[in-house]
């Protein structure tokens, strides 16, 4: 199939959202449907458990430690070179715990997406579940959005909501939201691929 749509996924930790996307890609045969495949999983942490998960799924992995660079800009420039080696149609942030420079975000404008564990625009940044509970929210959830230079902003592609229960802790709420993340993120990536057909 001409012009394969390569997807590069960036992770820092367990890689559970990455695995959900990779499994959906395999089960739904994105290669034949959209000419799309997961070209690589890249982590800024050599010990990220998600790297082993990706390898078990037969996906190429790379490590680029941010600790090897003097500045955020230098790391992002090296990361761009690494990603661009795969000629990506889409770059997916799946628990990639780095704030990206405007230069990086601009380079991938329109083809860089992220999942955030809140119903944006509410609760950008960290500790989203605890903040939702403290604010008395009846619902929490997750959002897939295009990445722009402003943290956790950018056009919303998809959202999923869960109820906040009276006895919820940040941990129980996070676990319930994560189940939705694993459903929502593959759907959102698939939706993006459909728009590129």
Asked about 153 being catalytic, the answer comes back as: no
In tens, the pLDDT along 159-174 reads 999 999 999 999 999 9
Query: What's the pLDDT score for residue 168?
Result: 97
**Domain-wise residue ranges, the chain:** 5-116+143-157+181-196
Helix (H) or strand (E) holding 33: helix 30-34
Selecting among 66, 107, 116, 145, the annotated active-site residue is 116
Query: What's the pLDDT score for residue 3?
Result: 60
Q: Which residues have C-beta within 8 Å of that of residue 17, sequence separation ≥ 6?
A: 94, 95, 115, 181, 182, 185
pLDDT below 70 — which residues of the chain?
Answer: 1-3, 197
Which fold, 5-116+143-157+181-196? Rossmann fold (3.40.50)
- Sheet with 112-116, strands from edge to edge, namely 61-63, 36-43, 5-11, 88-93, 112-116, 139-146, 156-163
Query: What's the pLDDT score for residue 2?
Result: 42
Task: Tell me the sheet residues that pair with 5.
Answer: 36
| Pairwise CA distance, residues 108 & 16, whole Å | 23
Query: What's the pLDDT score for residue 1?
Result: 38
Is the bond preceding 131 in cis, omega lying within 30 degrees of 0?
A: no
């Amino acid at each position: 199939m001409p012009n394969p749509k390569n997807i590069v996924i960036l992770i820092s930790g367990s890689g559970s959202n990455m695995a959900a996307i990779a499994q959906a890609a395999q089960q739904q045969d994105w290669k034949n449907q959209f000419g799309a495949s997961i070209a690589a999983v890249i982590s800024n942490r050599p010990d990220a458990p998600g790297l082993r998960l990706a390898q078990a799924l037969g996906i190429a992995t790379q490590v680029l430690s941010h600790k090897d660079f003097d500045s955020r800009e230098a790391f992002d420039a090296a990361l761009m070179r690494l990603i661009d080696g795969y000629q990506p149609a889409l770059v997916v942030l799946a628990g990639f715990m780095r704030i990206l420079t405007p230069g990086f975000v601009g380079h991938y404008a329109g083809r860089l997406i992220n999942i955030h564990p809140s119903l944006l625009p509410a609760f950008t940044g960290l500790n989203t579940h605890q903040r939702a509970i403290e604010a008395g929210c009846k619902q929490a959830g997750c959002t897939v959005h295009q990445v722009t230079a402003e943290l956790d902003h950018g056009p919303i592609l998809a959202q999923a909501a869960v109820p906040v229960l009276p006895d919820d802790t940040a941990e129980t709420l996070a676990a319930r939201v994560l189940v939705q993340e694993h459903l929502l993120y593959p759907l959102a990536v698939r939706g993006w691929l459909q728009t590129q057909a």
